[in-house]
Every structure is written in structure tokens, then in C-alpha cells.
Structure 1
Amino acid sequence: MQAIKKWLTQRENRQLVSLLISGFLLRSAIALWLPAGFDEGYYYLYSLHPDWSYFDHPLLVALTTGFGPLLTHTVSPFTIRLGSLLLHTGSLLLLYLTSVRLFSRQAATLTLAIATLIPIFQ
């Protein structure tokens, strides 16, 4: 716990955590507000009966779609999207780490802020 507190004392790390959390909350609000589409219903039914040999959907689709209902024991548009929300937040973290390695912390923070707020990546 001390290591986490020490890590969070740096301003850049606090910005990283706040951007990731605010992006997750923004996408969660969108996931709560929008009704489920027909494809998400299909993905949920597919997650109930996963198989290796579906031609158009790999097994990871079933795992990410079925994660929320399995975790909460309820089926709603939000729980169907929960796995994707978590994976997207993880991909934003990987984008940040890649940008730090290639450029700088300042460029990585800007990249993370832009990628968090662009609607097409929601």
C-alpha cells in the first residue's frame, strides 16, 4: 500500500489515474444510457453457448460479452458491455505506456486524453 501511495504522489501518475477513471466513467454513462443493439443481444446469446468453431465470432467475443452477466448475475445493456469497457480501459493504459516509451510523459498524457475523449473509440 505504501508503494501505491508513493506512486500516486507524482502529478503525472495522478493525471494518468484520473484520466483512466474519468474515461471509464464516461463510457459507463454512455453504456447505461444507450439501449442494447441487436448485435449485442446476439453476442450475449452467443456467450451462453460458446464454441470454438463459430465462423464469424472468436471465443473472446463470448468471454467479454458474458463477463458482466456472469459477474453480476443480471442481464442488462450495461452488464453486456462491462467486459468491453474494462478491455478498452486496459487498451488506453497500453496506449499510454507505448507513448511514454516512444515519446515522453507529456505526449503520452495528451495522447491518453485525446483517445479517452474521442467518441469513435467509445
Structure 2
Amino acid sequence: MLVELVKVAKFPWSPWLAQVRTPFGSTAVRWCGDPAAKPGPYHVEWTVDEDIAWGRNAKPAVGVGPEVRPGGHCVVLRGRLDLTVDGAAMLDFDGSQIPLDLADPLPGGVAGTWVELFVEREQIALCPYAL
């Protein structure tokens, strides 16, 4: 996914964080690229390093379409929840597939629906790559 890197910063209590903008929102998340990265466009892969538990940090979305926004101490990702043939969960985030680790099996009927994930900003990572 192409994002606009605004800045990279580090606070004493956190890893390197990137302030990014997308066509559907902006937020700050963990940055796995060069800490000296300059502002501008970057192709990134999103990862979520927190187990997803329905009803705790995942719920039906309010609205449809991808979205990313700050949510207090966490980041809210809205995307379409998909299950693979082998039962793995994926979040379709505007065409980017984010693999998810599930704490428990998902309830019936949520596959293919729009969901919102509420994840600590340090548990979401952006890994830049070159095309």
C-alpha cells in the first residue's frame, strides 16, 4: 500500500513511530524502516502483532470502506474480514492483506463483513519496501 510518511519520531517509552496519511485517514504506528526516512510516499506492508479477539479488540464496523484513525491510546483499522480455506483470518485493508492471529475462533457470519480492529499503536507496524 502506498502511504505518505509525514515524519518518524521516537519517544523514550516507545519504538520508532511513523505519522502517516492514507486516502482514508491518518495515524501514527510503529515504523520498521530507516529511522532517518524523509517525508514522502512509501510502499508499505502493514502487520498486526496483537491477537484478535471478537468483542474485545474487534467488532462490526460502523460504516463501510477502509479507514484508519487514532482511537485514544490505540489505532482503529476498518477493513473487510476474510477467512482463508485453511481458516486463517485476513483483513482486506484497501487491497492490502493483513494476516491476523486469532485468540479464539470467530463467530459465524462475520467472514466477508466490514470490521473495526482496535490495536495498540506499537502493535501495528509499517514495513517499507521497494517495488
Q: TM-score, normalised by structure 2?
A: 0.27
Of structures 1 and 2, the larger Rg is shown by 1
Greater helix content: 1
Q: TM-score, normalised by structure 1?
A: 0.28
